[in-house]
Amino acid sequence: MHEFKAIAEYIAENYPFAKKIVEVGVGKVPDVAIELQRLLPKCEVIVTDVAESPELSGRVKFIRDDITEPNSSIYEGAALMYSVRPPPELQPYLHGVARKVSADLLIKPLASENISLKGNLMNYQGVAFYVFKGD
């Protein structure tokens, strides 16, 4: 739980005026998005996944989407896209969509996993993740 709270706090501190933030591949754990919505109440927080919607607090919007064949309109206007423990094969798709819509990208890989992309390794409150700045 500390990990999810730390990621949400990092995002809130670094994107305080974001109008839109999108989590890709939320799975069944929307903890970061729910905390983020609490920390940034004026920001539209959207979560996406190819599967069914997780249990949400009602303030976070779920949209079904496949990042390998994305609906770009979901991500357009986002200051940040992020993904917690995405499979390595999806990382290039995440990066590609983020670049296309000029959004920053945050990826929290599994602790033992190397990331194939070149980004800035961050350590925030003992939680390591990568940040890629949008072009």
Residue-wise pLDDT tens digits, 63-107: 999 999 999 999 999 999 999 999 989 999 999 999 999 999 999
Give the tokens for residue 56. Answer: 């949400």
Give the tokens for residue 31. Answer: 């903890």
Which pLDDT belongs to residue 55? Answer: 77
Give the tokens for residue 85. Answer: 């423990």
In the structure, what pLDDT confidence band is assigned to residue 14 with cuts at 50, 70 and 90? very high
In the structure, what pLDDT confidence band is assigned to residue 114 with cuts at 50, 70 and 90? low
Which pLDDT belongs to residue 17? Answer: 95
Enclosing domain of residue 74: 2-132
Q: Which residue has the tokens 């670049």?
A: 99
| Residue 87 CB partners (closer than 8 Å, separation 6+) | none
Helix-strand-coil split of the chain, %, nearest 5? 30, 25, 45
Mean pLDDT of 7-29: 96
Name the 3-class secondary structure at 135: coil
The DSSP element (H or E) to which 97 belongs, if any, is helix 91-100
Q: Give 96's strand partners.
A: none
Q: Structurally, how many domains does the chain consist of?
A: 1
Q: Supply the CATH number for residue 81's domain.
A: 3.40.50.150
For 38-71, the pLDDT digits (tens) are: 999 999 999 999 998 777 767 789 999 999 999 9
Mean pLDDT of 9-31: 96
Which pLDDT belongs to residue 118? Answer: 73
| Residue 119 CB partners (closer than 8 Å, separation 6+) | 105, 107, 130, 131, 132
